[in-house]
Amino acid sequence: MPGGSRRAYRTGLSRAAIVEAALALTAERGLDRWSMRDLTARLDTSLSVIYHHVGDRDRVCAAVVDRVYADMDLTHDETDWRQLLYRVLSSMIDQLANYPGVAAWLLRNGPQTEQLVPVLETGIARMLDAGWGDEAAAAYSVAFNTSLGLIALGDEEERDGVAPGLVGLLGMLESHPAAGRGAEQMRRMVVPFTGDAAERAATRREYCRYALGLVLDGLEARLKQLQSGESLSR
């Protein structure tokens, strides 16, 4: 390239094309593992073009999260609060597994995406109708954040393959002289988390759903306390 000449970047990009490229990078590497330089290279464009159409990296990430949720089945026509929460959060467990880092972003930033507002509104409204009263938002957030936390933990453990901590735990359980039936039960649970990538992913989704079911059981028990006028035990 002659001295003093400037590279001819692609400038005819749309916001949708930029977000699509960022979404692809997120699926490949994780939301926190690509840079704006990576995005400009993927699109063969300049930062100024991305800033013009979307904004800085924080805004691009928010747009990616919104797009992830836009691709989910977020219809919310159930009238039962528990069924609604289970279906929405179960769908979230499946979808976010494909986009590492999105769950952690939501834990840090909250549901600051347009796609989540109707889900949040309907979910809490159903809980109010069921008698949750002033605890509706808190109870909703417990279920939502528990699911996000488990997904985020799984993302972190999967960064470089099988989590070293799980491998170490499995080795200890298999070799410790004091290991008995309790350790054997734990060993059987841990083994699928150390299998191949497909087995690990399926095991994590199943584990997240199991935890979600337990959380909803606890919330249902709390709702019965509210309906009978009992105070929360501390």
* Residue 154: exposure state from Cβ atoms within 10 A (0-12, 13-18, ≥19): buried
**From CA 61, how far away is CA 23, in angstroms rounded?**
9
State both tokens at 53. 């159409």
Secondary structure of residue 5 in the 3-state scheme: coil
Tell me what the pLDDT averaged over the chain comes to: 88
Give this prediction's pTM: 0.83
pLDDT at residue 11 in the model = 62
Three-state DSSP state, 43: helix
Does residue 3 carry a pLDDT above 60?
A: no
CA dihedral 139→140→146→151, nearest 10 degrees, is 180
What pLDDT digit, counting tens, does each position of 110-128 carry? 877 777 788 888 999 999 9
Residue pair 185/191 in contact (Cβ under 8 Å)? The answer is: no
Least confident window among 34-43, 101-110, 181-190, 212-221: 181-190
Measured CA to CA, the distance from residue 110 to residue 106 in angstroms comes to 5
CA distances from 119 to 78, 85, 88, 126 (A): 11, 9, 8, 11
**161: confidence class by pLDDT, cuts 50, 70, 90:** low
Q: Which two tokens stand for residue 93?
A: 């467990």
pLDDT recorded at residue 117 = 83
Q: What is the mean pLDDT of residues 119-142?
A: 94
The torsion defined by the Cα of 218, 219, 225 and 230, in degrees rounded to 10, comes to 90
How would residue 158 be classed by pLDDT, with cut points 50, 70 and 90? confident
How many other C-beta atoms lie within 10 A of the C-beta of residue 60?
A: 26
31-80 pLDDT, tens digit each: 999 999 999 999 999 999 999 999 999 999 999 999 998 888 776 677 89
pLDDT value for 233: 57
Longest dimension (CA), the chain: 81
For residue 233 the two structure tokens come to 């035990």
pLDDT tens digits for range 222-234: 999 999 987 665 4
pLDDT of residue 5: 45
3-class SS at 188?
helix
- Phi and psi, residue 33, nearest 5°: -115, 15
Domains, the chain: 15-69 (1.10.10.60), 73-227 (1.10.357)
Checking if the pLDDT of 178 tops 70, the result is yes
pLDDT tens digits, 165-174:
777 888 888 8
* Weakest mean pLDDT among 14-18, 112-116, 186-190, 209-213: 112-116
Residue 233: half-sphere exposure toward Cβ, Cα within 13 Å: 4
Signed CA dihedral, 74, 79, 81, 86: sign only: negative
For residue 177, report the phi and psi dihedrals to the nearest 5 degrees.
-65, -25
CA distance 196 to 194: 7
Instruction: State the pLDDT at residue 108.
Output: 92
Residue type, 109: N
Q: What is the pLDDT of residue 169?
A: 82
